[in-house]
Amino acid sequence: MSDPRPVGPVRVALVGATGLVGRRVIEVSSAGDEVRIVGIARREAPLPPGARMEMFVAEPEKWGEVLEAVRPRALICALGTTMKKAGGDKDAFRAVDHDLVLATAEAARRAGVPNMVLVSAAGADARSKNFYMQVKGETEDALSRAGFKRLDILHPGLLRGERPDDLRFAERAAMIAAPLIDPLLSGSWARFRSIDAGLVAEAALGLALRRAGGRFTHDNDAMRRAAREWRKVAAQGEAE
């Protein structure tokens, strides 16, 4: 059963606002009054059309001050880079997907934020021989010890959606082939099936509002259920 709907807009902090999922979080939340997003970023960037939110631009070491000032109900973390963007430098990749994520989480906890939603990846495992999955898994393990009342970890497969000014040939080719490949992925491979970034964003928003404590990991199917619950909350808000 989902938690009772909160009264009035709930402030939710968002880091990673310029990425695929982050932009969709802004778009989805701006369509209603259930959540008011407080974005925190290192640099200014174009926002989605019709965005209704607050945006703070500061160096990461100052993000804790922003969180202290705005006191959000939850933190959605959609931070992430790629080995290509990191120039093939493993340390540079880890600096974002591990170090910056953990530093932001620690700042949120110091500011009294009780809930965190992390957009991770299907296959994340600290014991993986794949460097990308290993770092994702190590980050998840560390966050589990961070002390949040509630931690939701999202494990999407291949993300479908438009990435403005970020043309990733391999991902684009995979998205085109996804309708053919997805049905072939069964058993333990089913978790890698593609999923729309907008659905992941809806799930993140819905989970950010939950009050029951604990640590939860969500695969594609679980995110679809959470997204449906978010839509019910949003529809109820529109009807009032």
3-state secondary structure of 229: helix
How high is the pLDDT of residue 175? 55
How high is the pLDDT of residue 85? 86
How high is the pLDDT of residue 133? 95
How high is the pLDDT of residue 34? 92
Token pair listed for 199: 């659905």
**HSE (CB half, 13 Å, CA atoms) of 185?**
16
Q: Structural domain boundaries of the chain?
A: 10-239
Of 9, 48, 66, 45, which Cα lies nearest the Cα of 205? 9
Q: Give the integer Cα–Cα distance in Å for 52 and 125.
A: 36
C-alpha distances in Å from residue 57, one per residue of 67, 94, 119, 167? 12, 22, 21, 25
Q: Give the integer Cα–Cα distance in Å for 32 and 223.
A: 20
| Amino acid present at 169 | F
Token pair listed for 23: 């932009």
Alpha helices in the chain (DSSP H): 20-30, 63-70, 90-94, 101-110, 131-143, 169-181, 197-208, 220-239
Token pair listed for 201: 């964003």
How high is the pLDDT of residue 1? 44
Q: Give the integer Cα–Cα distance in Å for 11 and 37.
A: 6
- Assign domain 10-239 to its CATH architecture: 3-Layer(aba) Sandwich (3.40)
- Please give the chain's pLDDT, 240 residues, in tens: 445 454 568 999 999 998 999 999 999 999 999 999 999 999 988 888 889 999 999 999 999 999 999 999 999 999 998 888 888 899 999 999 999 999 999 999 999 999 999 999 999 999 999 999 999 999 999 999 999 999 999 999 989 887 655 555 555 555 555 565 656 666 776 777 889 999 999 999 999 999 999 999 999 999 999 999 999 988 876 666
Q: Give the integer Cα–Cα distance in Å for 128 and 138.
A: 10
